[in-house]
Amino acid sequence: MGEHVVAAASELQEGDRLVAELAGREVAVFRFDGELYAYLNWCAHQGGPVCEGALTGTYEATYDREANEVSLSWNREGEVLMCPWHGWEYDLPSGECLSQRSTRLPSYPVEERNGDVVVTL
Ligand code: FES
C-alpha cells in the first residue's frame, strides 16, 4: 500500500471531483457533502469510466397494491453517480449500485492531511 497526494485540499471544493492515475489505476476523488470519497474509475457493468459520469438523482417507484398504481418520484438529486456508458447508477456516499445491491464501486481510503488530499492504495 502506498499513499498518494492527489491535490491540495483547497483545489477540491465541495461538489468537485478529480480523476488521477495512481499506481497504474484511474482513481477518482469526490468531495461530497463535506466528505471525501475515492473510487476506482471502473464500472462493474462493462468497465466504463463511471467516475466521469453525471452526478444526478434517480427515479424511485412505489406500487400501491390497493389502487394497482405505480408512481415515480425523483429523489436524491446530486447523490447518484451515473455511468456515462449505459447509465448504471451508484450511490455516491456508499458506492453501492442501485440496480445491483450486492455490487459496489471499489473504494480506497482518502483523507485530508496537512492541507493535502491523500489516497491510500
Ligand atoms: S459500463 Fe457502466 S453502465 Fe455499462
- pLDDT score recorded for residue 10: 97
pTM of structure: 0.92
Rounded CA-CA distance 46/63 in Å is 31
pLDDT tens, position by position, 60-72 = 999 999 999 999 9
48 lines ligand 1 (CB under 6 A): yes
Rounded CA-CA distance 23/3 in Å is 10
- Where does the pLDDT of residue 1 fall: very low under 50, low under 70, confident under 90, or very high at 90 and above? confident
Atom 3 of ligand 1, nearest CA residue: 86
46 lines ligand 1 (CB under 6 A): yes
Average pLDDT over residues 84-110: 97
Which of 81, 86, 90, 98 has most ligand 1 atoms within 8 Å of its beta carbon, as the pocket-test mutant?
86
84 lines ligand 1 (CB under 6 A): no
90 lines ligand 1 (CB under 6 A): no
| Residue 74: strand, helix, or coil | strand
| Percent share of the chain, pLDDT over 70 | 100
pLDDT tens, position by position, 3-51 = 999 999 999 999 999 999 999 999 999 999 999 999 999 999 999 999 9
For the chain, the structural domain boundaries read 3-120
Query: What is the CATH number assigned to the segment(s) 3-120?
Result: 2.102.10.10
